[in-house]
Structure 1
């Protein structure tokens, strides 16, 4: 086991904040409608509970810690199944319930995953939602970030677009980590740099479209054009989440409020954006109420003790945010 880069914990905590914050909005929007978003009142305490996005990100970070940054697919599959069996009530998608139950029962994960949806595999956003900390881990080597992101994606998602979505998020988190301590990359250049690392397909096309959007593009328009996760697919989720992140690389708080305004699969888009932005900024600048409201994370690796809050451990600095 090697020392975990500080940016990995920053990214993990940003992902968890985005996940828990976004997840609370499903109920608020059903009860109160979009006016609640316009008011920008934080969800009520006491507990913003994180979902399967964070549960799987925790598993992935532990795998990276044990694998010196690399993914053992067989072991990761077993770990995902074990985490699911220990807590099935984290909002897993219907197909993932089936996949993880069958893997946990001993079926070969390759057969299970490849057999989903008539043999084409899932092209959902689950492989992308958990992967940002992996990108932070491999920030020094974008090829390794892309390779390991694809390896972890294949354990649950067979469809090439789901894999590409995970690669896009990992590369974005790696680029955000590389920029720590310096000026934030401009949104168009950042998104073009991500797209350059992706194979041709719908995810790449979406990221390229996002990179060409005018500076004054509204969140509503971006969500309508790119998709904000309503279809829960990689192509329908990742370009929008990265557009939100790329426009707020110095401000996690504003980035998450922007992301949630696009509606859709809110916990997942916010988890992706949060994981990417926090890889650069850390999370200490989030308002105090966020830190007390969000469900704590467990120990990342045995013997480590409770997971500390991102930038509080690394000393990274982010600009102050509004409550």
Structure 2
């Protein structure tokens, strides 16, 4: 597949994970979610995606239009989409930023003001996987482009580290965590990824408790677990998503990150799940 095709497949996987996670909802216990995973119980359709997909659409559009992340264009696209559909479950900080951008304010100044030093939320990571797919043959470039995509809204080092980790992924699984660490700067998020390397799949419950599943909606509380799930199920999209959902927490975002990483590596999107998911908007030309 071409770079563009890989990015689009990643976006589709991201949107399915996002929409399924949103349909199932947050806060489900590990035990209850595990029962869902074991039985394959799917929610009613259509599954509506959230801000995770809404922002990732803009990321992919900029990649396809420019061949790289052009921050000004990305900020403009984020603001335009938010203005059109502000109901997509945006966080308070992101919503405030995008309203200011829509009014003509500069992202270069405002992004530093959020949370008194920049956001370290998981919002930059949730939209970054298509960047890794687009630059799959060049992880170093992917990492740099993911950092640029984060700068528009997340100026805290951990917010950027989360995007780099989710956006410098590879199309193979066994060495995913160690490969990602080559590009993630020193941060709490990096510490979490290093900790994730210690957990085999058999220690699932411990991994959930130690790594976090997005309860705090931060990069450091979200990305390590997502990479761990993706690394152990890189060739099986459905299993990767179900194992992510089992953990509970911020399920639309954790599943979006994992879906975006695993889909291009698995090579296909399950048609039965894709048919359950809300389609992309009519103005999307891919």
TM-score interval, normalised by the smaller of the two chains: over 0.9
Tell me how far 1:66 sits from its aligned partner: 1.0
TM-score, with normalisation over the residues of structure 1? 0.83
- The structure with the largest alpha-carbon Rg is 1
Secondary structure in structure 2 of the residue aligned to 1:116: coil
Instruction: Spell out, residue by residue over 1:143-194, the C-alpha distance to the aligned partner (whole angstroms, 9 max, x if none).
Output: 210111000100011101000110001111xx12xx4xxxxx42xx321111
1:135 is aligned to 132
Cα distance 1:139–1:33, how it changes in 2: closer, same or farther (>3 A)? closer
Cα contact 1:40–1:257 (8 A) shared by 2 = no
Residues in 2 aligned to 1:214 and 1:28: alpha-carbon distance in whole angstroms: 24
Match of 2:102 in 1: 104
TM-score, L = length of structure 2:
0.93
Other-structure match for 2:55? 56
Mapping of residues 160-175 of structure 1, within 5 Å: 160-172=157-169, 175=170
- 2:150 matched to 1:150? no
Match runs of 1:1-323 below 5 Å: 4-26=3-25, 29=28, 34=33, 37=36, 40-68=39-67, 70-118=68-116, 120-172=117-169, 175-176=170-171, 179=172, 185-186=173-174, 189-218=175-204, 220-284=205-269, 286=270, 288=272, 290-298=273-281, 301=284, 304=285, 307=286
Distance 1:214 1:6, change over 3 A: same
Instruction: Specify whether residues 287 and 72 from structure 1 end up closer, same or farther in structure 2 by C-alpha distance, changes over 3 A only.
Output: closer
CA distance in 2, matches of 1:221, 1:299: 43
Q: How many residues align?
A: 284
Mapped contact 2:33–2:248 kept (Cα < 8 A): no
C-alpha distance 300-196 of structure 1, shift in aligned 2 (>3 A): farther
Deviations 1:34-91 (A, max 9, x none): 57535534333321001000010000100011112x1111111111000000001111
| Residues 300 and 168 of structure 1: CA distance in aligned 2, closer, same or farther (over 3 Å) | farther
- Please, which runs of 5 or more residues in structure 1 have no aligned partner? 180-184, 308-323
